[in-house]
Amino acid sequence: MKLNRRNFLAVTAGAAATLSAPTVWGAAHGKPKVVVIGGGAGGATAARYIAGDSDGAIDVTLVEPTRTYYTCFFSNLYIGGFRDFASIGHSYGKLASDYGVNVVHDWAIGVDRDAKTVSLAGGATLSYDVLVVSPGIDFVDGSVPGWDISAQNKMPHSWKAGSQTQLLRAQIDAMPEGGVYAMVAPPNPYRCPPGPYERISMVAHVLKQTNPTAKILIADPKEKFSKQGLFEEGWQNHFTGMIDRIGPDFGGNNVSVNPDAMELSIDGVVEKVDVCNVIPAQKAGRIAEMAGLTNDSGFCPIVPASMQSQMDENVYVLGDATIAGDMPKSGFSANSQAKVASNAIRGALTGSRVFPAKYANTCWSLITTDDGIKVGASYEPTEEKIASTGSFVSQTGEDAALRKATYEESIGWYAGITADMFG
Ligand SMILES: Cc1cc2nc3c(=O)[nH]c(=O)nc-3n(C[C@H](O)[C@H](O)[C@H](O)COP(=O)(O)OP(=O)(O)OC[C@H]3O[C@@H](n4cnc5c(N)ncnc54)[C@H](O)[C@@H]3O)c2cc1C
């Protein structure tokens, strides 16, 4: 099906659901309270759907430090010059005015799961009956020797969108003629499996126009990556000889950096580079760990039918912070999971009807002008995990008209998901 904004909303609204039986909130208790930590793809969607669909029957508070959320999705297109920066920024005004969400711009710094409270950096404490946690990712300390967060201005990660994204684009523009752009790609599992390779495509697209003798070097710890054949075909066709990927068989898994000297060492061989995009290994956003919701993997196990935490039935975890079975860490996934959880939470708190869980995902990537590719699947819960029930992927050798249509589909999806998140 060709996705546009209207049918994206229809498809994903029907996907909201869970199997667990609702336990209706006791009337004596007063209005039930839901606190949502994190106003991204998972949290903003959940806040909107719980507040909007319960028509004032549930008090919803969203805790999010930033006043403007810059989407990681389409941030690569900003780097490639296909979007302006303002177009990927979104504010929370409508969630407050149109949906009645109490939007608190602050950091959650602690969760007391016995007392059912969340403490905020500003000093306030919020009580909840149900807590939704969707804090995205944080980086694993020491995963790229030589790099830590204090080096992010010299060697940006740009894996959380905002100033980091603008910095990376500025560094690409300032590269000397014939210079070297390097990326340290992350190990699995990480946010947005095709994201590093879409980024490489967008960087190559810019450099081909502004600095055609420049080189791109990828140090990659993974044997293979998402949509690999499609990306490699595109790189060969559009950016011949520009991109060199060093996988684990040639030391791409044995990397360190020296940000002061702008050096990247791959298996002991030191390269001088002009830009170094370090995307470290990832784990659930720190607050999930502090709340005791993670396991040894660094991510949060969930109940596949509802997105409830396996650690606490009063807590739901969404998006990149979770172990979501076959679902990748994507904005589409987080949005889809948020609708399942919202349906389950409303059922538990107000007795509204709860539908069987269905999830969906599609990840589009742009290689160069009008050359869009995609991969996606639908999912249902089993006892063990969220399992894929059917999938699709673009093919190599597709004609230009189909690739253009795929790109246009992604533009419709972006408009749809951001309207779905922020109202
Ligand atoms: C370059 C790139 C390209 C991408 N492209 C796509 C794409 O094309 N399609 C797609 O579907 N996905 C894409 N993604 C992935 C997508 O951005 C994430 O999977 C998605 O944002 C996950 O949603 P989330 O709610 O888990 O986390 P986020 O959207 O990151 O939201 C987390 C929010 O929690 C807040 N937060 C964190 N800690 C706290 C705290 N202690 N207290 C309060 N708030 C807190 C943060 O400020 C943040 O706003 C891309 C990612 C990258 C990096």
Please report, for residues 317, 319, 338, the alpha-carbon distance to residue 308 in angstroms, rounded to integers and kept in the order given.
Answer: 6, 12, 11
Q: What separation, in Å, do the N-terminal and C-terminal C-alpha atoms of the chain show?
A: 24
User: Looking at ligand 1, which residue's alpha carbon is closest to its atom 51?
Assistant: 72
Residue 240 Cα to ligand 1 middle (Å): 33
Residue 136 Cα to ligand 1 middle (Å): 5
Residue 139 Cα to ligand 1 middle (Å): 13
Tens-level pLDDT at each residue, the chain (423 residues)? 444 444 444 444 444 443 344 455 554 578 999 999 999 999 999 999 999 999 999 999 999 999 999 999 999 999 999 999 999 999 999 999 999 999 999 999 999 999 999 999 999 999 999 999 999 999 999 999 999 999 999 999 999 999 999 999 999 999 999 999 999 999 999 999 999 999 999 999 999 999 999 999 999 999 999 999 999 999 999 999 999 999 999 999 999 999 999 999 999 999 999 999 999 999 999 999 999 999 999 999 999 999 999 999 999 999 999 999 999 999 999 999 999 999 999 999 999 999 999 999 999 999 999 999 999 999 999 999 999 999 999 999 999 999 999 999 999 999 999 999 999
pLDDT given for residue 12 in this prediction: 46
| Same-domain pairing of 42 and 134 | yes
395 found inside a domain:
no
User: Looking at ligand 1, which residue's alpha carbon is closest to its atom 23?
Assistant: 41
| Same-domain pairing of 205 and 109 | no
| Same-domain pairing of 77 and 155 | no
Give the residue among 191, 186, 152, 185 at the shortest CA–CA distance from 171. Answer: 152
9 found inside a domain:
no
Q: Which residues pair with 91 in a beta bridge?
A: 68
Can you give the pTM of this predicted structure? 0.94
Atom of ligand 1 nearest to the CA of 71: 17
pLDDT given for residue 423 in this prediction: 94
Atom of ligand 1 nearest to the CA of 42: 25
| Same-domain pairing of 332 and 307 | yes
DSSP state of 287: H
Residue 134 Cα to ligand 1 middle (Å): 9
| Same-domain pairing of 60 and 186 | no
Tally of domains within the chain: 2
| Same-domain pairing of 206 and 91 | no
| Three-state DSSP string of 73-88 | CCHHHHHCCCCCHHHH
User: Looking at ligand 1, which residue's alpha carbon is closest to its atom 33?
Assistant: 38
pLDDT given for residue 30 in this prediction: 86
164 found inside a domain:
yes
Q: Could you say which of 221, 250, 278 is where a domain stops?
A: 278
| Same-domain pairing of 247 and 334 | no
pLDDT given for residue 26 in this prediction: 53
Q: What angle do CA 324, 327, 328 make, to 5 degrees?
A: 105
DSSP state of 286: H
pLDDT given for residue 24 in this prediction: 54
pLDDT 10s digits, 318-346: 999 999 999 999 999 999 999 999 999 99
Residue type, 208: K
63 lines ligand 1 (CB under 6 A): yes
73 lines ligand 1 (CB under 6 A): yes
Residue 327 Cα to ligand 1 middle (Å): 15
402 found inside a domain:
no
Q: Could you say which of 246, 278, 310 is where a domain stops?
A: 278
| Under 8 Å between Cβ of 375 and 194 | yes
pLDDT given for residue 19 in this prediction: 39
40 lines ligand 1 (CB under 6 A): yes
332 lines ligand 1 (CB under 6 A): yes
| Same-domain pairing of 224 and 298 | no
* Residue 26: CB atoms within 10 Å: 8
CATH number (domain holding residue 156): 3.50.50.60
305 found inside a domain:
yes
Atom of ligand 1 nearest to the CA of 108: 42
| Same-domain pairing of 48 and 31 | yes
Matching residue, tokens 């109490």: 102
| Same-domain pairing of 199 and 298 | no
pLDDT given for residue 28 in this prediction: 55
Residue 267 Cα to ligand 1 middle (Å): 32
Atom of ligand 1 nearest to the CA of 322: 26
| Same-domain pairing of 222 and 297 | no
58 lines ligand 1 (CB under 6 A): no
44 lines ligand 1 (CB under 6 A): no
Residue 409 Cα to ligand 1 middle (Å): 21
108 found inside a domain:
yes
User: Looking at ligand 1, which residue's alpha carbon is closest to its atom 25?
Assistant: 42
363 found inside a domain:
no
181 found inside a domain:
yes
| Same-domain pairing of 306 and 248 | no
Q: Could you say which of 356, 375, 398 is where a domain stops?
A: 356
Query: Which range marks the domain in which residue 22 is found?
Result: 18-138+282-356
65 lines ligand 1 (CB under 6 A): yes
